[in-house]
Amino acid sequence: MTTTPLTLSPVVVTGAAGFIGSHLTDALLAHGTEVIAIDRRSVHKDPVAARNLADALTNPNLAFHQADLATDELDELDELISGARIVFHLAAVPGVRDSWDERFRDYAASNVVATQCLLTACERAQVPRLVLASSSSVYGQTSGPSTESDPTYPMSPYGATKLAAEHLCMAHAARPDTSTSVVALRYFTVYGPRQRSDMAISRVLAAVLSGVPVPLYGDGQQSREFTYVDDIVAATLAAAAIPGEVGAETVNVGGGSSVSMLELISVVGQITGRKVPLTMEAPRAGDVEATRADLTRAHALLGYSPRVELRDGIARQLDWMVKQPSPQSISEPSVGEVVLR
């Protein structure tokens, strides 16, 4: 797979203190790339941000800036991205359930308004490429593998904000006076070390480790294409390095297969040698029956093929979880349920 050339330094990573953003930041620093990391969370006050960037913060090639893309002064953002060759836009509020309630204003600001502000700044700074982290949630209910040309019918406000961010990117990339090309990557349920504590695999593993039952919503037949974070990072780096005139592209990034929640629970039981404690709950608004990615375009444009199989990836995540000194004190706020995206 193609990787980001070191000559593209410096690069900007928004949402750098998050689950995927911190892994991407680590990978870029490992390449010797100069990284301008932006996140609205404080690495001094937020324990999750501090944990995720613990190694990166010791690297002299990292410059961390606490900033809110949606509300901070535009001239400050202009200064941060000035001279950047690549901007990786991962900053967003994630999760389906919370997007239905009073938090929607935060979703709209962080996922839509912030994207518009960043795109405008990229055009002023003449950044050659922006890579957007989108989501499989834009598809909604599907009957088979999703292709990038399929209709999009998001079933949650969260999915709607991610699709809006994509449309903003495409609109800006189509401007005749822009020099910023865009690659929007539709991530399919990402897992691995540092995964948010409210997501499915984290919750199932935590249930095994603690003995506290995890809610299973519906009949357990709903399926997801789980994608290991290292594969996500590899695809994201490749998106930055697509040669030639890109304009605007949308690309699925998945794990290669879709499994049901019952199959996932079985795999966790086999890995740990323990039964996963469950409580059965009614289905939730916004959850789709299945996600599955057609990776034809990812193969062609990114040279992408997922490398980490689900069993191996879950074992790596479990190993990371048991090594955490105090999982409860550093876990991100949980809504007490499995999140399927």
- The CATH number linked to 160 is 3.40.50.720
The 3-state DSSP class for residue 200 equals helix
Q: What is the mean pLDDT of residues 285-290?
A: 84
Q: What is the mean pLDDT of residues 284-297?
A: 90
Give how far the C-alpha of residue 161 lies from the chain's centroid of Cα atoms, to the nearest Å: 14
Please give the pLDDT value at position 73.
72
Do the domain assignments include residue 277? Answer: no
Q: What is the pLDDT of residues 177-193, one digit of tens each?
A: 999 999 999 999 999 99
Please give the pLDDT value at position 75.
82
In angstroms, the first-to-last Cα distance of the chain is 26
Do the domain assignments include residue 52? Answer: yes
Do the domain assignments include residue 200? Answer: no
Please give the pLDDT value at position 177.
93
Q: Is the pLDDT of residue 288 over 90?
A: no
Q: Is the pLDDT of residue 170 over 80?
A: yes
- Strands, DSSP E only, in 17-110? 35-39, 62-66, 86-89
Please give the pLDDT value at position 309.
97
CA distance 198 to 205: 11
- Number of helical H runs and strand E runs in the chain: 12, 13
Computed over every residue of the chain, the mean pLDDT equals 91
Do the domain assignments include residue 263? Answer: no
Q: Is the pLDDT of residue 333 over 60?
A: no
Please give the pLDDT value at position 285.
79
Do the domain assignments include residue 92? Answer: yes
**Domain range spanning residue 123?**
6-188+227-253
Q: Is the pLDDT of residue 3 over 70?
A: no
Please give the pLDDT value at position 71.
85
Closest CA to 276 of 201, 197, 329: 201
Q: What is the pLDDT of residues 73-129, one digit of tens each?
A: 778 899 999 999 999 999 999 988 788 888 899 999 999 999 999 999 999 999 999
Q: Is the pLDDT of residue 216 over 50?
A: yes
Q: What is the layout of strands, in order, in the sheet containing 129-135?
A: 62-66, 35-39, 11-14, 86-89, 129-135, 181-187, 248-253
Q: Please state the domain count of the chain.
A: 1
Please give the pLDDT value at position 101.
84
Do the domain assignments include residue 319? Answer: no
pLDDT class of 9 with cuts at 50, 70, 90: confident
Do the domain assignments include residue 281? Answer: no
CA distance 199 to 78: 34
Please give the pLDDT value at position 182.
96
CA distance 196 to 56: 19
Please give the pLDDT value at position 328.
41
Q: Is the pLDDT of residue 63 over 50?
A: yes
Which amino acids are annotated catalytic? 158
Please give the pLDDT value at position 8.
58
Q: What is the mean pLDDT of residues 34-43?
A: 97
Do the domain assignments include residue 283? Answer: no
CA distance 128 to 145: 32
Please give the pLDDT value at position 247.
86
HSE-CB of 280 using CA atoms within 13 angstroms:
5
